[in-house]
Amino acid sequence: MARADLLTVPCFWGFIPYRHFGIDLGDGTVVHLASVRGDTSQMEVQRVSMDVFADGKQISVEQVSQPLEDDQVIERALGAVGNTHYHVALGNCEHFARLCKSGEHVSHQTDRLLRGVIRVGLAGLASASARTVGSSATAGVAMSRTAGVATLLGEVARHGAYALSRCAKVEHRHAERIGRGVGAVSAAVAGYITKGPAGCASAATMYLTVDAMSQNAMHQMQSNAKKTAE
């Protein structure tokens, strides 16, 4: 670890894993966005010791492809100490730390969670819609239902592949590509096992369509949030 590094520690919200972020000042202290005296309703940018930041957990260094100059990172972090802004989706600890490190107001964790929810919702809707047809179901409807279920299985595989890649220290964007590929292949295989070549093609098509729709939905949400903030 070194001055101006982007640091992370593994944490849990209930049973949901996530990573907490901060900026290493190089003198044994870290600037991070955290709760005030354990009250999660009150958040503040704080300068704390490395031990307090770690809280008994293992600290890792998050690699950033285009970081700002070290002095600029430190200046941004120290200049924010005392600020009390927080929003789980739009301004969490990762948003703050990445803004200091790279100038990008982004949280990969939040974005992945929202995209995952959208993809699962779209796939579940496709599967549920097919089931509601009931006795009048046609071969096309049955294929749609199969594709919907296969897409859900692909989504599970996608998240698993991403998590394993990150544990292996793979950079976020590359881990996303790995997860997307594993998810698409898993959905196609599930479709093939269920309905043969036609099921394979249908599942792969639905998976990629749902993925594209979720990306568009996320871009729209982020654009609206940016306009609101302005």
At 194 the three-state DSSP class reads helix
Query: Do residues 26 and 64 make contact, with C-beta atoms less than 8 angstroms apart?
Result: no
Stretch among 51-65, 101-115, 187-201 having the lowest mean pLDDT: 101-115
pLDDT at 15 over 50: yes
At residue 30, the pLDDT reads 96
SS3 42: strand
Please, where are the H alpha helices in the chain? Answer: 50-54, 70-80, 93-102, 108-131, 139-167, 172-229
Which two tokens mark 22? 């901060």
Cα dihedral 133, 135, 138, 141, rounded to 10, equals 30
Query: What pLDDT does residue 146 have?
Result: 76
CB 185, CB 198: distance < 8 Å? no
Contact 151, 187 (CB under 8 A): yes
**Residue whose C-alpha is closest to residue 24's, from 125, 97, 116:** 97
Q: Which residues pair with 43 in a beta bridge?
A: 35
Instruction: Please report the pLDDT score of residue 226 as a whole number.
Output: 56
DSSP state at residue 31: E
CB contact at 8 A, 123 and 152: yes
Q: With bands split at pLDDT 50, 70 and 90, how would you rate the model's confidence at 221?
A: low
Tokens of 139: 């071969």
Q: Residue 162: what are its φ and ψ, rounded to 5°?
A: -65, -45
Please determine, for residue 29, whether its predicted confidence score (pLDDT) is greater than 50.
yes
What are the structural domains of the chain? 6-106 (3.90.1720.10), 109-229 (no CATH)
Mean pLDDT (the chain, rounded): 80
Task: Name the nearest CA neighbour of 183 among 215, 217, 150.
Answer: 150
Condensed to tens digits (0 to 9), the pLDDT of residues 76-132 reads: 999 999 888 665 556 788 889 999 999 888 888 777 777 777 777 766 666 666 555
Name the nearest CA neighbour of 7 among 98, 102, 68, 80: 98
Phi, psi of 24 (to 5 degrees): -75, 125
pLDDT of residue 79: 93
Burial 110-142, CB ≥16 within 10 A → b, else e: bbbbbbbebbbebbeebbeebeeeeeeeeeebb
Asked if residue 64 lies in contact with residue 104, where contact means CB atoms within 8 angstroms, the answer is: no
Q: Are 217 and 209 in contact (CB under 8 A)?
A: no
27: confidence class by pLDDT, cuts 50, 70, 90: very high
- Is the predicted pLDDT of residue 136 greater than 70, yes or no? no
Please give the average per-residue pLDDT across 154-176, as a whole number: 80
Q: What is the mean pLDDT of residues 22-30?
A: 95
